[in-house]
Amino acid sequence: MATPLKIDFVSDISCGWCAVGLHAFEAALSNIGADIAAEFHFQPFELNPDMPGGGQNLNDHLVYKYGEDAAAHYVKGTRDAGAAAGFTFNLNQDSRIYRTFDAHRLLHWAGLMGRQPELQHALFQAHFTDNKHPGDHAVLLACAEAARLDVAAAGLILASDAYADEVRALQAEVRDKGIHAVPTIILNDQYVITGSRSAETFEQLIRAALKRTPRADEGTAV
């Protein structure tokens, strides 16, 4: 019988390393094979909750927040790591970063429908591969369609405040656990992995968690 593995994947759609981490983590699960029954729960985290509606130029944002060297490292680092993990970044000088609250509301609903991983992948592709606005409702509806969700129902959710309270409560819960950076991955409510890793490293950490033998680089138990 496959061993159950609950995965709380704390991330933001505007986080490039979250996209890399998800693809690498899924590759690690694939390497382990049918021994694991993985159950994903994508938990909301907003990197830029006060971002204006039109967003901000990505490079300008990174330079302001981290400095020029770090901004250049982000673009090259995510592009190279994404390629290694099988994800394509098409970042350029016109790429922008946006607020993602509505996307998180839609992701919460997708979780109730059993289609959360599919929508998360569609959102990452729309934002980082296709350079689209992940807060634009037309883009979100296209992502819902790609994830094989009910587009009409998605439209009603986006036109209302549905799941706003639930998302805010989950964000508060994440903060209360001391999580201040993404991606953060919690395995079976006990083992915490911070940051994106290679598929090989993720595989080692997953196997260690399943054996209940915490490693030094797994982080602190929640």
Q: How confident is the model at residue 119 (pLDDT cuts 50, 70, 90)?
A: very high
End-to-end alpha carbon distance in the chain = 27
Q: Which of 171, 52, 40 is nearest to 105 (CA)?
A: 171
* DSSP category for residue 14: T
The contacts of residue 168 (CB under 8 Å, 6+ apart) are none
Specify whether the CB–CB gap between 206 and 29 falls below 8 A.
yes
Q: What percent of the chain has a predicted confidence (pLDDT) above 70?
A: 95
Residue 174, domain extent? 3-218
Q: What is the pLDDT of residues 77-86, one digit of tens each?
A: 999 999 999 9
Q: Give the CATH number, domain containing residue 134.
A: 3.40.30.10
What is the chain's mean pLDDT, rounded? 93
The pair of structure tokens assigned to 133 is 């606005």
Give the pTM: 0.92
Q: What would the pLDDT profile of 12-42 be if each residue is shown by its tens digit?
A: 999 999 999 999 999 999 999 888 899 999 9
5 in helix, strand or coil?
strand
Q: Are strands 3-11 and 36-44 parallel, antiparallel or unpaired?
A: parallel
47-76 residue pLDDT tens = 999 998 889 999 999 999 889 998 889 989
| Residue 1 in this model has a pLDDT that exceeds 80 | no
What does the radius of gyration of the chain's CA atoms come to, in whole angstroms? 17
Nearest of 85, 103, 69, 64 to residue 22 by alpha carbon: 85
Token couple for 184: 């953060």
The structural domain count of the chain equals: 1
Whether pLDDT at 165 is above 60: yes
Q: 163-197 in b/e burial notation, b at 16+ Cβ within 10 A?
A: beebbeebbeebeebebeebbbbbbeeebbbbebb
- The pLDDT value recorded for residue 135 is 94
The set of residues, in sequence order, having a beta carbon less than 8 Å from that of 92 and lying 6+ positions away, is: 131
Strand-pair category, 3-11 with 56-57? unpaired
Residue 3: is its pLDDT beyond 90?
A: no
Q: How do residues 168-218 score in pLDDT, each as one tens digit?
A: 999 999 999 999 999 999 999 999 999 999 999 999 999 999 887 444 444
User: Is the pLDDT confidence value at 92 over 80?
Assistant: yes
Banded model confidence at residue 2, pLDDT cuts 50, 70, 90: confident
Q: How far apart are CA 161 and CA 40, in angstroms?
A: 24
SS3 171: helix
